[in-house]
């Protein structure tokens, strides 16, 4: 039977007509010296090896690793494993929702957490900021529909912790929750500054990534990185608030210092934190990233 099923549902004998992400592409040779393609196809549910023996060189010219590809073939069993024997493959053409009309989210890992629930947590945490200037800034950011949609879509990293769609929102809520708990324990901390910084610290990620067969980098993400992009995003929203927003220069600088320091003090003037809130955000961000990375990739995983 022809199958548009997910990879996890494929069975030996299925005929395959579908769009998948090509995440591996190697040109190899058989024992007799004939070329063939060894591929790995992936969607949100898993991956499957694939091979193309006939017209391998001609087929190879139609697509590249990292493309979304339209595949025609048949599922066979080889040494107790399933493999797709490909008869035709080409780069999928863009459609209204993505390649060949299929949204790219169909091929990328996604958060298990409910995004609406996390959105609600984020709004609740923002409501606990009482400083008028920081509160106005958060209201402006949360009222930006495009930013909110990007926050729900964006991963926290490409290959480290929370490296899946929605990972940024999950990570942001986690760090902000840890921040609130820390402020209850250490009342001398400026809770409005620290909680605001926790909510906005990674917003530059929303401008850092591209989405296709794999998570890639925008040109701005590659050249500037999320710290600079986040600073620009915050500057745009602060400027839009106007002079009456009660976000004076000292508050603005204190917030930007926390955001720019959340990966450590090395790039700061003098190589040191200028506030306990900046130190706290750095530690809490590293805590959530490190624990999540260890749970996902093992204890030796990098937090970035």
Residue 111: pLDDT band (50, 70, 90) is confident
For the chain, what percent of residues have pLDDT higher than 70? 92
Convert the pLDDT of each residue in 49-106 to its tens digit: 999 999 999 999 999 988 889 999 999 999 889 999 999 999 987 655 555 666 766 7
According to DSSP, residue 102 is labeled B
Over range 262-287, report the average pLDDT.
94
**Per-residue confidence (pLDDT) for residue 6, from 0 to 100:** 84
Instruction: Give the pLDDT score at 1.
Output: 39
- pLDDT value for 245: 62
Q: What is the mean pLDDT of residues 143-150?
A: 96
pLDDT at 261 over 90: yes
Return the HEC string of 214-266: CEEECHHHHHCHHHHHHHHHHHHHHHHHCHHHCCCHHHHHHHHHHHHCCCCCC
- pTM of the shown model: 0.80
Residue 112 confidence (pLDDT)? 85
Cα 193 to Cα 248: distance, rounded to the nearest angstrom: 13
**Integer Cα distance of 73 and 187 in angstroms:** 64
How confident is the model over 31-43, as a mean pLDDT?
93
pLDDT per position as a tens digit, 174-197: 999 999 999 999 999 999 999 999
Q: How confident is the model at residue 218 (pLDDT cuts 50, 70, 90)?
A: very high
Q: Cα(256)–Cα(238) distance, rounded to whole angstroms?
A: 11
pLDDT band at 46; cut points 50, 70, 90: confident
Angle between helices 276-297 and 249-260 (to 10 degrees): 30
CATH of domain 2-99: 2.40.50.140
CB 103 within 8 A of CB 159: no
Q: Under CATH, to which class is 108-297 assigned?
A: mainly alpha
Residue 103 in tokens:
């949204």
Using an 8 Å Cβ cutoff, are 258 and 129 in contact? no
- Per-residue pLDDT at 170 exceeds 80: yes
Residues of the chain with CATH 1.10.3210: 108-297
pLDDT given for residue 25 in this prediction? 95
What was the pLDDT predicted at 244? 59
pLDDT at 3 over 60: no
**Does the pLDDT at position 2 exceed 50?**
no
d(CA 210, CA 153): 11
Residues spanned by CATH 2.40.50.140 within the chain? 2-99
What's the whole-number average pLDDT of the chain? 91
């Amino acid at each position: 039977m022809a199958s548009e099923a997910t990879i996890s549902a494929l069975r030996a004998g299925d005929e395959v007509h579908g769009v998948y992400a090509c995440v591996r592409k190697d040109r190899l040779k058989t024992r007799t010296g004939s070329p063939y393609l060894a591929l790995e196809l992936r969607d949100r549910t898993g991956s499957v090896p694939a091979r193309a023996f006939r017209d391998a060189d001609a087929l190879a010219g139609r697509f590249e690793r990292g493309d979304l590809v339209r595949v025609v073939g048949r599922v066979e069993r080889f040494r107790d494993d399933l493999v797709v024997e490909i008869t035709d493959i080409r780069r999928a053409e863009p459609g209204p929702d993505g390649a060949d009309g299929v949204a790219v989210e169909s091929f990328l890992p996604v958060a298990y957490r409910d995004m609406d629930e996390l959105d609600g947590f984020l709004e609740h945490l923002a409501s606990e900021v009482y400083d008028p200037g920081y509160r106005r800034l958060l209201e402006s950011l949360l009222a930006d529909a495009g930013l909110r949609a990007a926050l729900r879509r964006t991963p926290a990293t490409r290959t480290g912790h929370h490296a899946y769609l929605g990972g940024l929102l999950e990570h942001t809520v986690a760090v902000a929750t840890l921040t609130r708990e820390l402020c209850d324990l250490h009342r001398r901390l400026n809770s409005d500054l620290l909680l605001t910084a926790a909510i906005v610290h990674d917003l530059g990620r929303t401008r850092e990534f591209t989405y296709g067969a794999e998570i890639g980098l925008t040109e701005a993400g590659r050249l500037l990185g999320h710290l600079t992009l986040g600073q620009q995003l915050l500057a745009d929203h602060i400027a839009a608030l106007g002079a009456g927003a009660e976000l004076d220069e000292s508050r603005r600088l204190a917030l930007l210092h926390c955001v720019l320091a959340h990966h450590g003090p090395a790039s700061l003037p003098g190589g040191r934190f200028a506030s306990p809130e900046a130190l706290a955000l750095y530690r809490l961000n590293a805590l959530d990233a490190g624990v999540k990375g260890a749970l996902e990739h093992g204890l030796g995983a990098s937090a970035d």
